[in-house]
Structure 1
Amino acid sequence: MTRRPLDTDEFVPAGASAQVRPVWAAIRSQVARAPEATALVIGGVSLTYRELDHASAGLARLLWRHGLRPGRVVCVRTRQSALSVVAMLAALRTGATWAVLEPDLPVGRFQALCRDVDCAVVLSEGGDAVPASALSAMPAPPTVVDASELPLARLVEAGQEPLTGPYPPVPEHSPAYVAYTSGSTGVPKGVMVSRGQLAASISCRGPVYGTEHSVFLIALRLSFDGILGGMFWSLTGGHTLVLPDPRQLVRVAEFTRLAREHRVTHLFNIPSYYRAVLRDPGGLPDTLRLVVVGGEACTPQLVATHNERLPRTRIVNEYGPTETTIACTVETAPDPARERIPIGRPWPGARTLVLDERLREVPAGERGELYIGGQLVALGYANQPARTAERFVADPYGRPGGRIYRTGDIASVDERGALHYHGRTDDQVKIRGTRIELGEIENVLERHADVAQAVVLCERAGQDEPQVIAFVLPTPGSGPPDASTLRAHCRGRLMEQATPTLFVPVDRMPLDRSTKADRAALRTLIPTDRQASGGTAGGDWSGYRLAVGRMWAEVLGHSGAGPDDNFFAVGGSSLKVIDLHDRLDKRWPQALRVGELFDCITIAAQAQRIADRLGERTRGEEHAPPAAYEL
């Protein structure tokens, strides 16, 4: 496919609202109202609304001279800084489109952008310049502008010069930004969001965020679209936006120091990151009024911990894929006493539908796939019409020509009309013919008093059937929960196939660039010998149990099974039964028949059967296992 200008008339949703005030007009009104008020603080740099306006004007002129126009894109490939924000506003000012791709993101993400859109300019920094090989392979490479040669003071000065002519007006359905996401396929997709959709997403936040003057600190990178809600709500409302620089973001203590220093009132975090912040709640200022979490599932335990440590601060839970413009639903009063925290109800202008495979609405309480309709549904994927048609489908319940976005998320509606998230359709796996939802396992584990957070993966080793592996972060003050204890907790709450085979304790949950739980990093923590249960599982290991337990560990690939655990619940299968029988029969010939192992399914039962059989032959003489089998 060849790239093309972002002419998106064909994507304009039916019934799109034109009544919302444009974002750039709202920001300019704040410049006129309070020009000396602090607009932005980041990396030791503070800009007033007047300075932010002048800096964006100066950069807009420079980018315009380099060919940036409506329908074309500026790629902001700089470390998170005041200049990064100024560049986004410069694009908005000219009617062009921005795409933020920090220099530590894979270069393939930049190449995908240049493949999909008409990228006119790349704003990069000297040491992080775009590789020459990536540019030389392009038939029409973009102009590279070195951001290190653009001090803010010079841009502010340049922005005060008279403009020879106004920038051409652009319709509100023109793209404001392109946000790249890999999604479940792992292939980068550029989500296009219009200026009107951005404005609609911002305009509905006032009743939740409040009307008083605020200082909003956001624990995200600019390449993650979740930052845009708090960012543009602040700048369009005359508030102060505080952003961490890259060093402050990865160091939680620095982040909380930033919150104290600027007496923040609003905080946005990914739940995984907020757990780390709450370990030292005294580090947060007493001015804090609202905490917003989003980007991951919010659990009852997280809300309970927040309420305990910050009882005078509200917490709300936002939900929304990139394709639905930042967030499309919100739960404003999460109750930690409930089994799960809802993702809430749709923001004004959004519609939510829970549908079955035939696009029929499912009854309340039943699960289906979540679809989003309304004016927050993005334009589509840049230069990928087939993927756009696959995910942005005709709305069977709306106006003719309307579209709904197929999220791939499993959801239900409760008796109060609130939506609940139950994981991903692509996080469903089949184990021994049964469909398992990994998100459901995480939810059950996090209801255990000793588990602060659980992340569950399903991994296959060789030709074996998939294993469910749970990474468990203990609650503060408690040690790693025993594997047998956690497995017992899962019994009665999960079907046998969903009970994790292996529990891997972690002292901290690794985070990715978006501060979500880093599943790729967790995979590297899976021990190659699967001996990750924290030592021998609890229980009586006398006599034959030691030898049988050792054989189970060799067959299953882990030593997390207790004496009374079900072989099939800890990773066993029909093929592994045969392997186990071969080992048992080699040590104690004909003590057990292979068919008995489908009924005699615990270490304790098998050891007792062996002892009984051998006792009959030896008149009760106990055959203690050899030392080599000690666990």
Structure 2
Amino acid sequence: METPPDAEHRLDTALLARWEAHPERVAVLDGDETVLAGEVRDRAVRIAALLRDRGVRPGDRVAVLLERSADFVIAVAAVVLAGGAHVAIDTGNPAERVDFLLRDCAPRLLLTSAALRAGLPEDLGTQVLTVQECADADGPAGFRPADALADRPAVVIYTSGSTGRPKGSLLSHRGITARLRSLQNSHPIDENDRVLHHTACTFDMFLVEVYWPLLHGAPIVVAAPGRQRDPAHLARLIRDREVTTVWWVVSLLELFLLALAPGERVDGLRQVLTGGEALAPELVRRFHERSGATLSNLYGPSECTMYCTAWVCPRDSGLRTVMIGPAIEDTVLWIVDEHGRPVPEGQPGELYIGGVGVSLGYHDRPELTAERFVADTLGGTGGRLYRSGDLVRAHPSGELEYLGRVDRQVKIRGFRIEPGEIEGTALRVPGVRQAAVVADGTGSATRLVCFVVLDTGDGPARAAERIRTELAARLPAHLVPAAIVPLERFPLTPNGKLDHGRLTALAADAVPVTAGTDRDPAADPAADAAGHEEGADGPAAAGMEALVAEVWGKVLGIPAVGPLDDFYALGGDSFRAVRVVRELEERTGLQVPMYLVLEASGVAEFAEAVTEYAK
């Protein structure tokens, strides 16, 4: 293979070099499937050659719609080998969201499975290649890396958009390889390590879980699709597969610790990376009580390629402030005031980020790119700075403290959420005249509440249920509000602007609509036909249903929960699922695995699942 002159800053050549040096080493562990590095290479090269045959050229976008699996790992690597930029699409997205992403990124091709292809419309407007077709194809006679890829995009990551339209950040080969090189220098891994891959492909840190181990010979341990927030499944994988290295968004780290049995430790881990949300000192202490692994707090928006600061949390029981750390290598940070001027040392200001990791901008969004990526007039480098919107303060040690946002953006379970995107979607629902979204709560208890002013004459409960149903059909789950609250009019400040402070205060009392509290029974005759009144399987089932409804109401703070209600539609999440499981175990003496809440989220079906599991 001829080595391109820019090979040092390219993901494709680095991957090929690693696979060719050690083809016999295990690269991916996916359930019962073990894939060696040489097999990853052969399968990825075969797909890459087919992508080129189908017209993929350097810089072209290729959408990847696959469940988390060895196939997914190989597919995204294949797009990079072909010279394209992969746009990984979460298979859990609603059909409307998938359609938007495919239209917006305008891919040269969609790479998916035969099963998922069957669920897509025929008029996609892009050609489709399935992994089954790739497996049946002959391998290429030879394969040569594309020319001049270092400063072309390798990945497109979509994040929530303040204008109501998600935006795709273009991450270059140079930026990704620099970030992974920095991570390896500070947190080295090798063939003796194993890295857990569980992060959703909508979050850029999945790149760390895939490319970092592939480049350094550590096997990737793949979490089962849909189980990425099931702490019991993750704990079992860590133990049985001898995982040493994990990235967890802060909320999932907290969830994992909450689910551990009293006194249970996690000492097989060697290092844990976390970030995506503010990390509390108390959570650091709880982690160190349960594990001898190091805990590192990483910070950085997708626009700066995965992360740009890092701080190893000290084992200090008196820790009072968790830092996000100093800049990593090849990174420049500035803290500026509202006029873009550096603030005095120790004063808070907005963080501007520069260096090799700054992305190429947003796909097909020149105005937004010009707004967020500005010329570096501070350091005289001639490069660009990304305006993060994050408020920070530098300490005398040079480490940064995260203080919050300078705009309305919020973080929930690590996802960046722009309320404007949800508001824009709500305004497309018939009958909605005005919409405003606020965040309620802090930490793992944070939830979204959407206030609306209606044109229709629906009752408040019916309207709220209808609006939430439509939002769930159009938005990813993390963007769907926990509660919809109709108001006659929105509160205004003295100068006539929307009073977000008043809405935030009202959000604390917002209760999700339940199927059992304000619904006309005639509107759902299937409920009676299914025998929900007395329980489909007799008194025992009815008793379990009643108990489940009572426990859900207690945990979710809802006065009445009916048999048709769904745990997640009522605002439930993984944290509350742990509380539900613990409460049921205390009340019944049964062992209730958490995955039952994930797989059977309706009151009646969950009660039936618990009853069946106990037999």
| Residue 70 (str. 1) matches residue 74 (str. 2) | no
Residue 108 of structure 2 aligns to a residue in which SS? Answer: strand
Quote the Cα distance in structure 2 between the aligned partners of 1:409 and 1:203.
Answer: 25
Matched residue, 1:123? 111
Matched residue, 1:204? 182
| Residue 219 (str. 1) matches residue 219 (str. 2) | no
| Residue 231 (str. 1) matches residue 210 (str. 2) | yes
Residue 204 of structure 2 aligns to a residue in which SS? Answer: coil
Counting only pairs closer than 5 Å after superposition, residues 340-351 of structure 1 correspond to structure 2 as 340-351=321-332
Quote the Cα distance in structure 2 between the aligned partners of 1:459 and 1:275.
Answer: 26
How much does 1:42 deviate? 2.2
| Residue 195 (str. 1) matches residue 173 (str. 2) | yes
Matched residue, 2:334? 353
Q: Which has the larger radius of gyration?
A: 1
Residue 129 of structure 2 aligns to a residue in which SS? Answer: strand
User: Is the 2:68–2:224 contact (alpha carbons within 8 Å) kept by the matching residues of 1?
Assistant: yes
| Residue 103 (str. 1) matches residue 94 (str. 2) | no
Counting only pairs closer than 5 Å after superposition, residues 32-51 of structure 1 correspond to structure 2 as 32-51=20-39
Quote the Cα distance in structure 2 between the aligned partners of 1:508 and 1:49.
Answer: 47
How much does 1:218 deviate? 3.4
Amino acid at match of 1:375: V
Quote the Cα distance in structure 2 between the aligned partners of 1:349 and 1:522.
Answer: 45
| Residue 466 (str. 1) matches residue 483 (str. 2) | no
Q: Please list every run of 5 or more consecutive structure 2 residues that lacks an aligned counterpart in the other structure.
A: 411-437, 452-484, 492-501, 510-551, 558-567, 574-615
User: Is the 1:216–1:267 contact (alpha carbons within 8 Å) kept by the matching residues of 2?
Assistant: yes
How much does 1:197 deviate? 0.8
Quote the Cα distance in structure 1 between the aligned partners of 2:151 and 2:389.
Answer: 26
User: Is the 2:439–2:448 contact (alpha carbons within 8 Å) kept by the matching residues of 1?
Assistant: no
Instruction: Mark the CA change 1:82 to 1:466 in structure 2 (over 3 Å): closer, same or farther.
Output: same
User: Is the 1:257–1:283 contact (alpha carbons within 8 Å) kept by the matching residues of 2?
Assistant: no
Amino acid at match of 1:274: L
Counting only pairs closer than 5 Å after superposition, residues 155-166 of structure 1 correspond to structure 2 as 158-159=138-139, 162-163=141-142, 166=144
Amino acid at match of 1:223: T
| Residue 308 (str. 1) matches residue 286 (str. 2) | no
Counting only pairs closer than 5 Å after superposition, residues 315-464 of structure 1 correspond to structure 2 as 315-334=295-314, 337-399=318-380, 401-427=382-408, 442=442, 453-455=444-446, 462=487, 463-464=490-491
1:243-272 Cα shifts (integer Å, max 9, x gaps): 212143232211111111111111111111
1:203-242 Cα shifts (integer Å, max 9, x gaps): 1112321255311113312332111124222111111121
How much does 1:24 deviate? 2.3
Amino acid at match of 1:291: V
| Residue 84 (str. 1) matches residue 72 (str. 2) | yes
Identity %: 31
Quote the Cα distance in structure 1 between the aligned partners of 2:146 and 2:295.
Answer: 42
Quote the Cα distance in structure 2 between the aligned partners of 1:130 and 1:413.
Answer: 53
Pick which of 41-50 and 312-321 moved more. Answer: 41-50
Quote the Cα distance in structure 2 between the aligned partners of 1:428 and 1:416.
Answer: 29
Quote the Cα distance in structure 2 between the aligned partners of 1:236 and 1:304.
Answer: 32
Pick which of 340-349 and 463-472 moved more. Answer: 463-472
Matched residue, 2:40? 52
Amino acid at match of 1:236: L
User: Is the 2:196–2:221 contact (alpha carbons within 8 Å) kept by the matching residues of 1?
Assistant: yes
Quote the Cα distance in structure 2 between the aligned partners of 1:80 and 1:425.
Answer: 35
Matched residue, 1:563? none
Matched residue, 1:477? none
Amino acid at match of 1:261: D
User: Is the 1:263–1:285 contact (alpha carbons within 8 Å) kept by the matching residues of 2?
Assistant: no
1:372-415 Cα shifts (integer Å, max 9, x gaps): 11111000000110010011011121235311101111111122
1:41-76 Cα shifts (integer Å, max 9, x gaps): 224322111111011011112222222221222110
| Residue 30 (str. 1) matches residue 18 (str. 2) | yes
1:111-135 Cα shifts (integer Å, max 9, x gaps): 44444444111122344338665x6
Which of 233, 249, 256 aligns to 2:228? It is 249
Q: Please list every run of 5 or more consecutive structure 1 residues that lacks an aligned counterpart in the other structure.
A: 1-16, 430-437, 447-452, 473-503, 510-519, 526-631
Quote the Cα distance in structure 2 between the aligned partners of 1:238 and 1:466.
Answer: 51
Amino acid at match of 2:117: A
Instruction: Mark the CA change 1:25 to 1:412 in structure 2 (over 3 Å): closer, same or farther.
Output: same
Which of 130, 135, 143 aligns to 2:127? It is 143
Quote the Cα distance in structure 2 between the aligned partners of 1:505 and 1:301.
Answer: 28
Amino acid at match of 1:301: E
Quote the Cα distance in structure 2 between the aligned partners of 1:470 and 1:455.
Answer: 11
How much does 1:191 deviate? 0.6
Which of 129, 148, 168 aligns to 1:170? It is 148
Instruction: Mark the CA change 1:96 to 1:508 in structure 2 (over 3 Å): closer, same or farther.
Output: farther
User: Is the 2:62–2:85 contact (alpha carbons within 8 Å) kept by the matching residues of 1?
Assistant: yes
Instruction: Mark the CA change 1:185 to 1:468 in structure 2 (over 3 Å): closer, same or farther.
Output: farther
Amino acid at match of 2:363: A
Matched residue, 1:625? none
Quote the Cα distance in structure 1 between the aligned partners of 2:448 and 2:317.
Answer: 25
How much does 1:469 deviate? 7.2
Instruction: Mark the CA change 1:373 to 1:166 in structure 2 (over 3 Å): closer, same or farther.
Output: same
User: Is the 1:208–1:332 contact (alpha carbons within 8 Å) kept by the matching residues of 2?
Assistant: no
Matched residue, 2:576? none
Amino acid at match of 1:342: M
Quote the Cα distance in structure 2 between the aligned partners of 1:521 and 1:321.
Answer: 29
Quote the Cα distance in structure 2 between the aligned partners of 1:19 and 1:168.
Answer: 10
Amino acid at match of 2:300: G
Quote the Cα distance in structure 2 between the aligned partners of 1:338 and 1:469.
Answer: 34
Q: TM-score, normalised by structure 2?
A: 0.65
Matched residue, 1:264? 243
Matched residue, 2:269? 288
How much does 1:329 deviate? 0.8
1:89-132 Cα shifts (integer Å, max 9, x gaps): 11111111111002222344444444444411112234433866
Amino acid at match of 1:71: G
Quote the Cα distance in structure 1 between the aligned partners of 2:81 and 2:39.
Answer: 15
Instruction: Mark the CA change 1:359 to 1:130 in structure 2 (over 3 Å): closer, same or farther.
Output: farther
How much does 1:331 deviate? 0.9
Amino acid at match of 2:39: E
1:479-508 Cα shifts (integer Å, max 9, x gaps): xxxxxxxxxxxxxxxxxxxxxxxxx99859
CA RMSD of aligned residues (A): 3.3
How much does 1:146 deviate? 2.9
Residue 256 of structure 2 aligns to a residue in which SS? Answer: helix
How much does 1:363 deviate? 2.1
Residue 446 of structure 2 aligns to a residue in which SS? Answer: strand
Quote the Cα distance in structure 1 between the aligned partners of 2:162 and 2:272.
Answer: 28
Amino acid at match of 2:367: A
How much does 1:290 deviate? 0.4
Quote the Cα distance in structure 2 between the aligned partners of 1:283 and 1:66.
Answer: 52
Instruction: Mark the CA change 1:290 to 1:389 in structure 2 (over 3 Å): closer, same or farther.
Output: same
Matched residue, 2:257? 278
Instruction: Mark the CA change 1:25 to 1:356 in structure 2 (over 3 Å): closer, same or farther.
Output: same
Amino acid at match of 1:267: V
User: Is the 2:86–2:155 contact (alpha carbons within 8 Å) kept by the matching residues of 1?
Assistant: yes
Q: TM-score, normalised by structure 1?
A: 0.64
